[in-house]
Structure 1
């Protein structure tokens, strides 16, 4: 297929809201691996390979030092992979077997990436991270240009097959107007970090690589479209690199009904001091890439750093959400044929109870030393018995406000029974949608089934909200649905009491709620639930 230059409309999955237009600049390509050569000096070859891995590690550590928040955590985790002694040993073994350094490095990385790809789902997506590390190490060995972000000297729309975390973490909103990729899903690093930076992004765009450098495209991260063929005169100007201001006034409807608008964060770097609070503190970033769990003291310090920034305000801390689908080496869990349905979230505590107990103890100690209103919740709870067990454990450590995430339809359907044991529910719409529709949330081809406007998903959310109203306990939403300013009023109309999202989404959601009364929200929710599909649901909303 030739390069796309005429006026063309491409479609994909919008994963970061907003619209922008500008000239295309494509990612630098990985270096071509030359033919194998005979190794005359095995020790020199091994030394070259070690130098490449060391240079890769140093580059990642330098990138991490120049960024913050989730981006820094991801880059630090990648640096630990590059510095892994087991990887170095695998490379050395191949050199000893006669391979030259570029081929030894390629084979060692490819073997690990292959194992991840066999795991499917989240593991398969992480294989792209290893391939990026491989390409950078090989480029260093060959003296070739480093693959990665272009630098055309003007603001541009970045187009790539996929983006590795090392590249996504370095995106500058002043230069990168929007991101378009062929691969990727709604929970990929591209999606998470683009949303955090406020950069419009569309993934799963077949044909994106045929867009020629310099062609002006209009990207709509809400509709998931990329329109090629505009003029340079209509291109967006570069955006200044500003920190999004979260509204200082609490969220509420036009008639004064309160709706907490909270933040999703990964570390203290993501906190906005003016925010109402935090609805989802993802603690797994503290655990990424480690061969052993962080000590209770290290965990306590990380939690305290966040809590100290939010005196008197609500902070909901999610316990470790990891397992076979999110590889954490220290857990020692074997690969699974279907990781999305395997040992993940709270289920890891069955075989590794000390990891959960250490985390709960660290959270309790950090909470005791702050005025923040600390809540704790467990991910991937399926039954009332699991909820009761977690609640007893958390309260044993002195944590007073205990809840669970609703991500499994079985839990949503039994929400009224789960609320006999816990103080609140938080609905993770990303996973709940995946399991409700039997559609892998990493697969952009299933974006229609993963649409948060699916009436079946909204039915389950409404069921949970009804259970909360019956017993007078709060039910929030912390998935991507909460960040949609059109859907947020519908969720409030269903009875949701809090919405948690990236800081960049708060202003629009705050404004959308302020324009509608609670009665208008409730009537919109009733119309939406009567719809047969997402399109009809959207049309039914105001």
Structure 2
């Protein structure tokens, strides 16, 4: 599965596998002493990450510090202590605790589920520390290479030397994994879900295509030269296409960025795009033991809005669930938090959290003069949309919207959008709920493919409802960054596309090479397909040849 466009050729560098606990590890003779040893291992990991953060750029620094906070988490330390008292050895106590927390994060879905890789990386490093083994991760290398791994933790991806990393290949991962998103942001071609990736010997030359997902082992010189020429032509074509997003016949489609923090905003603000289609605000809350104050939130939002001047910034309010990660918003245990009180449902249960956030957003908007538009996650009904719109208006914010990521909301989009100003399709969760497939389950990646015709049917229904309501409908899931799927989405009636900044140019090129009528024809081709691969191939075959050959 190609997740970051571009092509690359070079030798493989294999990443060391995660360190697991010994199967025959004896129970701790002194649980208290073993607990001190295990906690010391976590602290060693945290200090190592802090040291890397001190030498990293701002984007990597934030990721490394967030991962170090996981290693310092006292509830994780307490879980290890409990398992040591129950008769486990230190390495197995760490592994068991990590498994429990990973299960909780995965059940929450969304941002939390995407942090499972961070959590397991911390656990593997802590186990290596208590066993006295070298830490897993990317080895030192000096020749430009293609990094290959089972999966890459964000802490590893963020610290890659971009001058030496030609491309990334992982056996696991997915469209919404942190590796995929970071690779796209850094402009590094990447392929995930490649069976047998970790069996390619170090030093083997490979060619990868981050658009199609193709990986060629030991390619012949003619293939490598053809890929190099194609890469040069693509770079030239992308440089020539600038300005607002539009089809060849002038139909406007706003091209926007997905961002998750201040540094993302600073990078995106300098790019040739029309603003932000998704500002994830979770990072403001995740590391807090207490709810951030209005003043604290206002300052962060002000820093995020400032780089965009009068361009739009679409803000998603807190998208979290009712479980341990948010200590100040614990709604109690749920059998299935992914289908429980998350997103807007949490805001309705704890309206004071939403009120504080909206007050801070309004203050930051006034301070910067930004075009701030606020949307709620996990909206399922028209009544929920009305309730949210009332809260937004009460705080003096001029524009309210809803995320459409629940199939029920998509099917009733005309009613759901009637009381708000816009809608935005979260195709990652929409695919998960439409296909009944956990988005973090790698073995179900085909079901989660946004090219699934059933998912496109649901998107088409939402677009029809949006037209009936006379409201704009965007897409802010990672599918918006696929140039060919972007054509289909526009053909279905989508009016804006928000994606990782590194994908904007390719999408702009695809749009400028097709008329709106051609996009509508491509949409019909995709809807008529039986499988995601059939849909993808049908659209590529029917697309403009000069674009299909380059992207």
Q: TM-score, normalised by structure 2?
A: 0.85
SS in 1 for 2:507: helix
Kindly state the Cα deviation for residue 90 of structure 1 after the two structures are TM-superposed.
5.0
Name the structure 1 match of 2:280.
Answer: 282
**Which residue among 13, 24, 33 is the counterpart of 2:12?**
24
Question: Within 2, Cα distance between the matches of 1:190 and 1:313?
Answer: 28
Question: Within 2, Cα distance between the matches of 1:64 and 1:279?
Answer: 29
SS in 2 for 1:291: coil
State yes or no: 1:14 paired with 2:2. Answer: yes
SS in 2 for 1:153: coil
Question: Within 2, Cα distance between the matches of 1:441 and 1:181?
Answer: 17
Deviations 1:64-87 (A, max 9, x none): 444456644433222222222334
State yes or no: 1:222 paired with 2:211. Answer: yes
State yes or no: 1:130 paired with 2:127. Answer: no
Kindly state the Cα deviation for residue 420 of structure 1 after the two structures are TM-superposed.
1.5
Cα RMSD after superposing both structures? 3.2
Q: TM-score, normalised by structure 1?
A: 0.86
SS in 2 for 1:369: helix
Equivalent residues in 2 for 1:285-364 (5 A)?
285-323=283-321, 327-334=325-332, 336-364=334-362
SS in 1 for 2:483: coil
Is contact 1:318-1:379 (8 Å) kept?
yes
Kindly state the Cα deviation for residue 145 of structure 1 after the two structures are TM-superposed.
2.2
Higher mean Cα deviation, 31-40 or 296-305? 31-40
Kindly state the Cα deviation for residue 39 of structure 1 after the two structures are TM-superposed.
8.3
Question: Within 1, Cα distance between the matches of 2:212 and 2:69?
Answer: 37
Kindly state the Cα deviation for residue 384 of structure 1 after the two structures are TM-superposed.
0.4
Give the structure with the larger helix fraction.
Answer: 2
Higher mean Cα deviation, 396-405 or 248-257? 248-257
Is contact 2:322-2:341 (8 Å) kept?
yes
Is contact 1:186-1:442 (8 Å) kept?
no
Kindly state the Cα deviation for residue 490 of structure 1 after the two structures are TM-superposed.
2.4
Name the structure 1 match of 2:198.
Answer: 209
Name the structure 2 match of 1:417.
Answer: 415
Name the structure 2 match of 1:5.
Answer: none
Kindly state the Cα deviation for residue 363 of structure 1 after the two structures are TM-superposed.
0.6
State yes or no: 1:111 paired with 2:105. Answer: no
Question: Within 2, Cα distance between the matches of 1:82 and 1:257?
Answer: 49
Q: Which runs of 5+ in 2 are unaligned?
A: 544-551
**Which residue among 251, 259, 272 is the counterpart of 2:245?**
251
Is contact 2:25-2:92 (8 Å) kept?
no
Equivalent residues in 2 for 1:155-174 (5 A)?
155-174=144-163
Question: Within 2, Cα distance between the matches of 1:231 and 1:512?
Answer: 30
Residue 138 and residue 531 in structure 1: after superposition, are their counterparts in 2 closer, same or farther (change >3 A)?
closer
State yes or no: 1:469 paired with 2:467. Answer: yes
Kindly state the Cα deviation for residue 30 of structure 1 after the two structures are TM-superposed.
4.2
Deviations 1:60-111 (A, max 9, x none): 2333444456644433222222222334455567778998xxx436514532
Name the structure 2 match of 1:55.
Answer: 44
Name the structure 2 match of 1:4.
Answer: none
Kindly state the Cα deviation for residue 127 of structure 1 after the two structures are TM-superposed.
4.5
SS in 2 for 1:309: helix
Q: Which runs of 5+ in 1 are unaligned?
A: 1-12
Aligned length in residues = 523
Question: Within 1, Cα distance between the matches of 2:478 and 2:31?
Answer: 52
